Structure formats: C-alpha cells, structure tokens
Amino acid sequence: MGKISSWAQLLHKNVLPLYGIAHDFGHFPSLVTPWVNEGSLNDYIASHHLSLRSKLDLAKQVVAGLGYLHAHSVVHGDLTGLNILVDRQGRAQLSDFGVMSLLAEIPTLAQPSGGTRSAVRWTDPRLFEMREGEINPCIPTEQTDIYSFGSILLQVRCIISS
C-alpha cells in the first residue's frame, strides 16, 4: 500500500496525519485521522471574524503544507477549501490528498472510473485536455496543485469581501 503508507509517514504541522484505515464502517474503508474541530477552511473563514492578516496566515500555512508534500514527492491532486481543515488552534491542515489513488490501492474496493475528480471547479483545466494516444490525461502534478491553490485564494478573497 504505497501511497497510504507514504501518507502515514508524513509529519508536518500543516498536513493532517493519517493513523490508518478502518474497514468496519459500511461498504467502503474509512481513513482514520485526528478529529479537527473547526471544520473546513471555507467554514472556518465564513464563521469567524478574522482579520485579513489571519486569513493570509492561513493561506501561508496551506503553502507550507503543500510545499512539504511536494518536497516529499506527494501531489495533493484534489486541493479545495473543503480539503483544508482547521484545528482548534486555528492551524490549517491539508487532508484528503490523493484520496482517489489511495482508494485504488485497496484491493477489496471497487475501483472508480478513470479520471474521476471531486473538485472540478478548482482543477487545472489542462487535466481535462485529451491528447492523441492518451488513455487518461487526468494525472495531477505539483503544477496542477498550485493552480488549485490559486483558485482557493480567489475563493478566500470572495469570502473576505463578503
């Protein structure tokens, strides 16, 4: 289980730790992580009266976590404000990175169809371009993660303005 064991080995304050996998919660396995009290970045910003400086600090934390993943050759591949969780101390933590490819490693799980993505709005459009001879062009990269981060910044700006 390469990617699952890789995630379990990662240790950074802005990356949600993975403790393991539970198979006793229905048809699909569940990833076991710490409970994060404040919810997603979207919910946290919308429900707290944060200064612009605090919001930018959260963005810097996301960059730190993403930089750590990339330094360890891990591509998030599904970066959205919903996959960034905020803990009780107000610290942003990246979660659910590479979940589709992680789930594909579990032999008893029915495989999702190729190219399935849950965050189309935040996804670099180049991931949807078909080139002649390609079977599945939807392979996320560090560059597509950066595109998604830019989309999150635009979303945070909208939340800041409202």
Cα–Cα dist 73/56, whole Å? 26
Closest CA to 148 of 103, 118, 114, 115: 118
Q: Give, in order, the Cα–Cα distances in Å from 52 to each of 48, 58, 119, 132, 157.
A: 12, 10, 26, 46, 10
Lowest mean pLDDT among 48-52, 101-105, 148-152: 101-105
Taking the C-alpha atoms of residue 151 and residue 128, their distance in angstroms, rounded to an integer, is 16
Q: Does 43 qualify as catalytic in the annotation?
A: no
Which sequence spans correspond to the domains of the chain?
A: 2-161
- Strand-strand pairing, 92-94 and 84-86: antiparallel
pTM of the model: 0.75
For the ranges 59-63, 75-79, 131-135, the maximum mean pLDDT occurs at 59-63
Question: Which one is catalytic: 24, 43, 57, 78?
Answer: 78
pLDDT at position 99, please?
A: 58
Strand partners, 63: none
Decide which of 1.10.3720.10, 3.40.47.10, 1.10.510.10, 1.10.10.10 is the CATH code for 2-161: 1.10.510.10
* Span 78-136, pLDDT tens digits: 899 999 999 999 999 999 876 555 555 555 544 444 444 455 555 556 655 656 666 55
